[in-house]
Amino acid sequence: MKVVPSENDPQNHLLIGVNRDIRGKVASMSAKISKGADAFLFREYFYVGIFLVVFAILLLVLLGLITKDWTRTGFTVFSFLLGSVTSILSGFVGMRIATYSNSRTCIKAASNLSEGFDVAFKAGMVMGFFLVSAGIIVLFMLIYIVKSNYSMDQASTMFEAIAGYGLGGSTVAMFGRVGGGIYTKAADVGADLVGKVEKMMSEDDPRNPATIADNVGDNVGDIAGMGADLFGSFAESSCAAMVVASSSDSIGLSAYWPALLFPLALSSSGILVSLVTSFVATHLMPVKNETDIEPSLKRQIGVSTLLMTPVVFIICYFFLPHDPFYIGGKTVKYWYIFFCVACGLWSGMAIGYITEYYTSHAWSPVREVADSCKTGAATNIIFGMALGFKSVIIPVFCIALTIYVSYSLAGMYGIAVAALGILSTLPTSLAIDGYGPICDNAGGIAEMSGMAPEVRVRTDALDAAGNTTAAVGKGFAIGSAALVSLALFGAFVTIVKVKWPVDHQAVDLLQPFEFAGLLVGAMLPYWFSAMTMKSVGIAAKGMVEEVRRQFTEKPEIAHENGPDPDYDRCITISTDHALREMVAPGALVLLSPLICGFFFGTHALAGLLAGSLVSGVQIAISSANMGGAWDNAKKYIEANVGKKTEMHKAAVIGDTVGDPLKDTSGPSLNILIKLMAIISVVLGPALQDFDKGLLEKWFA
């Protein structure tokens, strides 16, 4: 049954100039995508909800029985559940905004490229503003609820309890990123291997049974999962900064209460800066043709960074003490903090632009990968892997320099606020990250509904820029995750008060437990990546078999004007596999710090956290960039050489190999390093007496 908008529909003005029959198909395809995304998220959140209740009970028992501080334990569990609900809401609202906007972007692009860009970009901005605003408001309310039960000389204990907010956000993000990533890549790989490679169909040919599931995956993985991921980063970096700050006597005084709320003030000002920045893209320098799209999106990063810099100084001036104060193990001045935040802010911009250089087909690295397709898929994969490994170099130097400067100026607190600096323009980053999947869906809807070929050309132009900005967003998220994880590591050390052999702040690699933990921690990202990639492979195998079955049993669906394939069956397969396969990687991340901390002690756990951070960042950057490069190499070949060629076939295979890297294992590693660290922070009070683990005590 065709869904045709009513003549009285207030949104009907969007469809002016488009054939009425086409309008019905656009609405129908959009409704199918929205229905599939809703079905997956409701099922995912149902199982995640069960897990959250069980984990909350475990947290209550562990913290309560070991610390005997039931007030702090109760607030920790409450914070955990509140962070979980906020993260779920952020992912769901982001997905709804995207599915509401994809058909509108398609219709607007049918008549005007500029209007299509505006719809997709504004939808991304709405998601960014909602996510950050909701996070700030809920965290602010939580702080004042908990504050009413503590005196100011208990600020440290209070913020240790509030750290549960970050744990809740990242726990949901873990399942959102992994589950959504498995879903979207299973559908994508299935649609590509059978539809493009075997049947030589175009990207979103409606005859391909997996095409609706592929478009659904863009929303549940790249929108809902990404939103939950970056919300987790915001919550964790804010909690880490407040935990470190509250441990300082000079900040813990009631006279300096604004200093404790500095992270929220910084993030709040970022909303205003991002709002002003958005007018550059929509009003001051609007998109007029295809060549304006990518520069307009990249300009958002530079303008927001430039505008945010003086705002950071103003926030530091009014919220931090003017007299020298002791924090993070150092005596600092308020302008030291400004330089820490600014380092994070500008290094985030640098990482974004470097990522763009390695993933955009406007530059030589991706064009070299595309050129390698002339000799087949094997050379394409070799060149892509080399690009991914090489792309790690400059971002790591940027992160290392930021860590050095920030720690030199303000200790662990400097690193925590540097992470806040990267995330201070989060609404802008979310806007350009969410823009891509919306345009991708718009292109799919245009093709599936039979719109004119020039409409698909326009949506492809919008989507090509979105692929690059999505890669930029992943680089941004990885850089922030590295600093957030290190800040949480500092908060963990602060809480457990580990007796470090060197200067009370370093892991002594000559000690056996630290070195053993370091090696195991460095191995965990490889284990995790293997699990997630195999999960994508298992789910994709089921999808490929289903698509082949439909083409074999009903060959008429491959004919022009043939019957519709069974889209719902493919959606169900992706959903079932994603929900089943996300359990094992999630268990690995959640259980590793628990087992290490209680059985091997805090020294081993410190090594575990450091090792997972060091290797996780490298793997995440290389995975995301090589996958992005393969994707845009394919787009470059489609635009300049053409589809249905041997060169394009080799590019499609490379893109298929890169799909689980850039959208599942790579982004999920952000959450691995953050979630392990925030679990350690939350369990810190219970681990204070575990300088030696249970096994070491038993054998002693």
Taking a C-beta distance cutoff of 8 angstroms, is the pair 373, 380 a contact? yes
Average pLDDT over residues 36-62: 91
- The rounded mean pLDDT for the chain is 86
**Is residue 317 over pLDDT 90?**
yes
Q: Which residue has the higher pLDDT, 352 or 165?
A: 165
From 354-358, 395-399, 474-478, the region with the lowest mean pLDDT: 474-478
Please tell me the predicted confidence (pLDDT) of residue 507: 59
From 6-20, 56-70, 192-206, the region with the lowest mean pLDDT: 6-20
Please tell me the predicted confidence (pLDDT) of residue 6: 43
- Quick check: helix, strand or coil at residue 232? helix
**Is residue 145 over pLDDT 50?**
yes
Please tell me the predicted confidence (pLDDT) of residue 87: 92
Share of the chain above pLDDT 90, in %: 39
Please tell me the predicted confidence (pLDDT) of residue 699: 58
From 24-28, 74-78, 163-167, 559-563, the region with the lowest mean pLDDT: 559-563
Cα distance between residue 105 and residue 652, in whole Å = 26
Q: Is the dihedral of CA 453, 459, 465, 466 positive or negative?
A: negative
Please tell me the predicted confidence (pLDDT) of residue 364: 93
pLDDT tens-digit profile of 195-249? 777 777 876 788 888 888 888 988 888 888 888 888 888 888 888 888 888 877 6
Q: Is the dihedral of CA 341, 343, 346, 348 positive or negative?
A: negative
Neighbours of 191 (CB within 10 A): 29
Please tell me the predicted confidence (pLDDT) of residue 378: 93
Taking a C-beta distance cutoff of 8 angstroms, is the pair 573, 546 a contact? yes
Please tell me the predicted confidence (pLDDT) of residue 609: 93
**Is residue 250 over pLDDT 60?**
no
Q: Spell out the residues 6+ positions from residue 468 whose beta carbon is closer than 8 angstroms to its own.
A: 294, 297, 356, 359, 360, 628, 632
Average pLDDT over residues 275-294: 91
- As given in the structure block, the two tokens for residue 191 are 């649609």
Q: Which residue has the higher pLDDT, 683 or 152?
A: 683
Average pLDDT over residues 623-633: 90
Cα distance between residue 649 and residue 382, in whole Å = 16
Q: Spell out the residues 6+ positions from residue 498 whose beta carbon is closer than 8 angstroms to its own.
A: 602, 603, 606, 691
**Is residue 13 over pLDDT 50?**
no
Nearest to 244 by CA among 63, 432, 431, 505: 505
From 141-155, 259-273, 310-324, 373-387, the region with the lowest mean pLDDT: 141-155
Rg (CA), the chain: 25
Neighbours of 569 (CB within 10 A): 16
Nearest to 137 by CA among 159, 165, 161: 165
Taking a C-beta distance cutoff of 8 angstroms, is the pair 473, 429 a contact? yes
Taking a C-beta distance cutoff of 8 angstroms, is the pair 588, 528 a contact? yes
Q: Spell out the residues 6+ positions from residue 369 whose beta carbon is closer than 8 angstroms to its own.
A: 380, 383, 384, 387, 629, 630, 633, 654
What pLDDT band is residue 505 in, cutting at 50, 70 and 90?
very low
pLDDT tens-digit profile of 366-386? 999 999 999 999 999 999 999
- As given in the structure block, the two tokens for residue 237 are 């970096």
From 167-176, 454-463, 514-523, 621-630, the region with the lowest mean pLDDT: 454-463
Q: Which residue has the tokens 């602010």?
A: 140
Cα distance between residue 576 and residue 570, in whole Å = 10
Cα distance between residue 674 and residue 411, in whole Å = 19
- Quick check: helix, strand or coil at residue 699? helix
Cα distance between residue 549 and residue 547, in whole Å = 5
Cα distance between residue 554 and residue 324, in whole Å = 76
Please tell me the predicted confidence (pLDDT) of residue 253: 45
Please tell me the predicted confidence (pLDDT) of residue 193: 78
Please tell me the predicted confidence (pLDDT) of residue 501: 46
**Strands 325-327 and 330-332: what pairing?**
antiparallel
Please tell me the predicted confidence (pLDDT) of residue 354: 92
- As given in the structure block, the two tokens for residue 49 are 């909800």
Neighbours of 377 (CB within 10 A): 18
Nearest to 396 by CA among 489, 475, 301, 302: 475
Please tell me the predicted confidence (pLDDT) of residue 9: 44
- Quick check: helix, strand or coil at residue 331? strand
Q: Which residue has the tokens 């680089």?
A: 475
Cα distance between residue 206 and residue 498, in whole Å = 60
pLDDT tens-digit profile of 427-468? 998 898 889 889 989 988 988 888 888 888 888 888 878 777
Taking a C-beta distance cutoff of 8 angstroms, is the pair 554, 565 a contact? yes
Q: Spell out the residues 6+ positions from residue 697 whose beta carbon is closer than 8 angstroms to its own.
A: none
Please tell me the predicted confidence (pLDDT) of residue 203: 67
Average pLDDT over residues 574-589: 90
